[in-house]
Amino acid sequence: MAKRSITVAGAGILGLWQALTLARRGHRVRLVEQKASAFADSSSRHAGAMLAPDCEREAAPRLVSELGHQGHAIWKRVYPDLVNLGSLVVASARDLPDLTQYGKRTTGHRQLTAEEIAAIEPAFAGRFATALHFENESHMVTPDAMTFLLEEVRSAGGLVELGREWSHESRAGTGGLTIDCRGLAARHELPALRGVRGERLLVETHEIELSRPVRLLHPRHPIYVVPWSGGRFLVGATMIESEDAGPVTVRSALDLLSTLYALHPAFAEARILETAAGVRPAFPDNVPRAIVKDGGSRIYVNGAYRHGFLLAPVLAEAVADYVEERKAHPLILENSACGAAAVHA
């Protein structure tokens, strides 16, 4: 088929994957981002960037887990620095019933003994009697992965325009296809979108080493800890039904830090490098989707919530197939009203 001129608005994780996939298929792609510094205004930069389709079955709709395995497979083909060592879910002795329930609600894991835990994560020797190891899960360093995708867009022939204001009005009469990945900035077109605040910390210490993400179950303050390079650890994250994008609160910082210390006392001497809060766009059922409007001249890819990194490659392939063949997909809705009541589980 004839290759198309396509503008992708927004260089978060959804926009990056849309631009890269379409450019690699030979389309003329322009990626437009309003901030002059890449990712400066993107909620994606706050993400833990864990690819955990099996863990997600604990709370997310089944569709997220099923398609998440596809997303994981695409990441493994595309991103050379993906760390594929699985993830670990642990709980204190008093919270072991929660770990049992977590195991019942999820799949793809193996229950480890204390000795097996120590074998794969020596830092936890003697700390936990049992754990769940989700072996087919991965993680990445968030800014490194996003920078890689941006450079791959350029290498594939895509035009990247940073610091460029963009709106649907400004493109009127220019022709071509627009794929809007601007998150909450598109809510006037997608009234069902809501903001979900997430807060996280970045700490640094060489007193402990971890090889894979660890989730500590807690009745009030569960956390995840993602190991980055250079002794850095991403600690997250709160989920608050709020669109306040202000700094991390004292309460949230205390909750995250106290649970981090409960995971391992070695974190007591860690340096806090960064605190950050972001507001993630979400549809009512918390499933990201592509929404087709104006007879196919505009496609909104939005609602990343906490599944953006996992499902972005799947959405990108689905949108590319739709653009080229009008191929149906569970994450694509052809309904001008689907920014409202149609986006429900």
Domain 87-135+195-282 has CATH 3.20.20.70: no
Q: How confident is the model at residue 43 (pLDDT cuts 50, 70, 90)?
A: confident
> What is the pLDDT averaged over residues 78-96?
98
pLDDT value of position 199: 93
Whether 177 shows a pLDDT value over 80: the answer reads yes
Given a contact cutoff of 8 angstroms between Cβ atoms, the answer to whether 139 and 55 are in contact is: no
- Judge if 5-47+141-190+285-334 and 87-135+195-282 fold alike in CATH terms: no
Q: How confident is the model at residue 335 (pLDDT cuts 50, 70, 90)?
A: low
Which tokens hold the place of 236? 């997250």
All residues at 6 or more sequence positions from 84 whose CB lies less than 8 Å from its CB, including other chains: 76, 136, 137, 138
Whether 334 shows a pLDDT value over 60: the answer reads yes
pLDDT value of position 341: 41
Which contacts qualify for 242-247: CB closer than 8 Å, 24 or more apart?
242/195, 242/196, 242/197, 242/279, 243/184, 243/194, 243/195, 243/197, 243/279, 244/197, 244/277, 244/279, 245/197, 245/277, 245/278, 245/279, 246/277, 247/275, 247/277
Query: Do strands 289-293 and 5-9 pair parallel, antiparallel, or not at all (unpaired)?
Result: unpaired
> What is the pLDDT averaged over residues 291-320?
96
Convert the pLDDT of each residue in 155-172 to its tens digit: 999 999 999 887 766 554
Phi and psi torsions of 146, nearest 5° = -70, -40
pLDDT value of position 170: 56
C-alpha R_g of the chain: 20
pLDDT value of position 101: 97
Domain ranges of the chain: 5-47+141-190+285-334, 87-135+195-282
CB burial of 182-197 (b: ≥16 within 10 Å; e: otherwise) equals bbbbbbebbebbbbbb
> What is the pLDDT averaged over residues 247-276?
96
> Which H or E run includes 53?
none
- The pLDDT > 90 percentage for the chain reads 85
Phi and psi torsions of 239, nearest 5° = -135, 110
> What is the pLDDT averaged over residues 92-104?
97
Neighbouring-strand partners of residue 36: none
Helices 142-155 and 13-24 cross at an angle (nearest 10°) of 30
What CATH class does 5-47+141-190+285-334 carry? Answer: alpha beta
Convert the pLDDT of each residue in 107-144 to its tens digit: 999 999 999 999 999 999 999 999 999 999 999 999 99
Q: How confident is the model at residue 343 (pLDDT cuts 50, 70, 90)?
A: very low
Mean pLDDT value across the chain: 93
pLDDT value of position 173: 45
Residues in the chain: 345
**Is the entire prediction scored with pTM above 0.75?**
yes
Neighbours of 66 (CB within 10 A): 13
pLDDT value of position 342: 44
Convert the pLDDT of each residue in 216-248 to its tens digit: 999 888 999 999 999 999 999 778 899 998 999
Whether 338 shows a pLDDT value over 50: the answer reads no
User: Lowest-pLDDT range, 79-93, 110-124, 175-189?
Assistant: 175-189
Given a contact cutoff of 8 angstroms between Cβ atoms, the answer to whether 242 and 197 are in contact is: yes
